[in-house]
Structure 1
Amino acid sequence: MQEQKTTDLAAIKRTVEETLGDAPQLLKLALENILREHDPHADAEPGSAGRIGRQSGKVSELTAIAPLKPGGADRLRRIFKLVNGNFAGAQKVATLHDMRFVFFENDTKILFATTYDGDWDTYIEDFATKIPDLMDLLFSSVEGWPGIKDPGVKDFIASHQLTADGWYVANPHLSVVDTRRLQRINDALQEFLDKVSGHVDS
């Protein structure tokens, strides 16, 4: 067993040197420590979400960067403030985990990032059929936005999308539907336990 650990450590050190040969020692040590803790039986590297983007288990990612029309960032900030940053209507897309917007380069560009269940094409189609007004409200300030129902919208989105180079999903095998179901089960169980506890106390 000790011989196996020594061999594994030597292999890790070789890998670190091959990967980060010219890096500072602190960086090498950090990678070595992470590799020592790495579970070789963990899920494999994320696969493809379809046309573009990565998928881990049931969960996929979409990251897009696009130029904004003049004044677009200010308009969107006013919209975000009006709804307190809460896009409740987005829950109509039952596969949507989250979405976030970041302005950068002096408000000339926007980063849109989201995680969702399933494949890319179906997700974009859900935007068009379930929340078209919200999508046009959010993206009409983007240069060249054709409208969510335009036949070319998928090509437009894909042309601005970047596939994540690194990405972590805590629960890749839990979809939004799974998570909501588990929450309902937990709520019912807690309610039952509270009632049982009340009877025991009385």
Structure 2
Amino acid sequence: MTVTEAELTAHAQDITDQPDGPGKRIGKKGELTIITPLTPEGGKIFRERQADIQAKAGYWEPIVGTVDNFRILLFDNDTRMLITLVYDGDFLPYLADIGRAHPWLDEIFGDIVEGYNGYNDPGTPELVISRSYSADLYFHATPDKTVHDVKRMSRLSDALSEVLDAAN
């Protein structure tokens, strides 16, 4: 099978920089990568809290409402943290949105991330920006669908399946 260059690039996405902060943007989706040093005991503390933090994700992320996905990885012998995010919209509104989950964020990052003094600390936005990186390559399968759109479509699909199952 021979594929032409035009076929390979026919679905190329328009990738731009976020207009108001770090990260890239495709459609309605922004991305952000943060690499940050941990406090001397940060890795140990995070590992102790990890199960609790994970268990609470399903509560806090819907409250934020704009998080498509969120991942954390400890590396370099638990001395640094990699945080990757995909979210709806621009950077500054997202930074405000995550404030609705500030107790959870403080549990995740407090006493763990070097220089983090709590979400409500006036220096937190600059700390986030100073440790942020834009992706060199970024793809999103549904760049024009928000988290709200996807949840609505999922509910519609479930309802339709229920109706079709009842008709059988």
TM-score by length of 2: 0.90
Give yes or no for contact 2:70–2:83 (8 Å, CA) kept in 1: yes
Deviation at 1:40, TM superposition (A): 3.4
Give yes or no for contact 1:127–1:148 (8 Å, CA) kept in 2: no
**Counterpart pick for 1:48 among 4, 17, 34:** 17
Give yes or no for contact 1:95–1:117 (8 Å, CA) kept in 2: yes
Which one is further off, 33-42 or 149-158?
33-42
What CA RMSD, in Å, does the superposition of the two structures yield over aligned residues? 1.9
1:25 maps to which residue?
none
Question: Quick one: structure 1 residues 111 and 85, their matched pair in 2 at CA, closer, same or farther if it must change by over 3 Å?
Answer: farther
2:35 maps to which residue?
65
- Sequence identity percentage: 32
Give yes or no for contact 1:94–1:177 (8 Å, CA) kept in 2: yes
How many Å separate the matches in 2 of 1:34 and 1:166?
22
1:28 maps to which residue?
none
Give yes or no for contact 2:53–2:104 (8 Å, CA) kept in 1: no
Deviation at 1:77, TM superposition (A): 1.4
- The answer as to 2:51 corresponding to 1:81 is yes
How many Å separate the matches in 2 of 1:135 and 1:35?
45
- The answer as to 2:109 corresponding to 1:133 is no
Q: Which has the higher helix share?
A: 1
Larger radius of gyration: 1
**Counterpart pick for 2:146 among 175, 179, 182:** 175
Runs of 4+ with deviation above 6 angstroms = none
2:64 maps to which residue?
93
| Greater relative contact order structure (CA < 8 Å, 6+ sep) | 2
Question: Quick one: structure 1 residues 155 and 84, their matched pair in 2 at CA, closer, same or farther if it must change by over 3 Å?
Answer: closer
Instruction: Give the SS at the match of 2:115.
Output: coil
- The answer as to 2:133 corresponding to 1:159 is no
How many Å separate the matches in 1 of 2:98 and 2:53?
19
CA distances 1:12-50 after superposition (whole Å, capped 9, x unpaired): xxxxxxxxxxxxxxxxxxxxx794642335332x11222
How many Å separate the matches in 1 of 2:129 and 2:36?
11
CA distances 1:77-97 after superposition (whole Å, capped 9, x unpaired): 121123556512222111001
- The amino acid of 2:8's aligned partner reads H
How many Å separate the matches in 1 of 2:141 and 2:36?
28
**How many residues end up aligned between the 2 structures?**
164
Which segments of 5 or more consecutive residues in structure 1 lack a partner in the other structure? 1-8, 10-32, 198-202
Deviation at 1:146, TM superposition (A): 2.6
Deviation at 1:147, TM superposition (A): 1.4
TM-score by length of 1: 0.75
How many Å separate the matches in 1 of 2:8 and 2:167?
43
Q: Which has the higher strand share?
A: 2
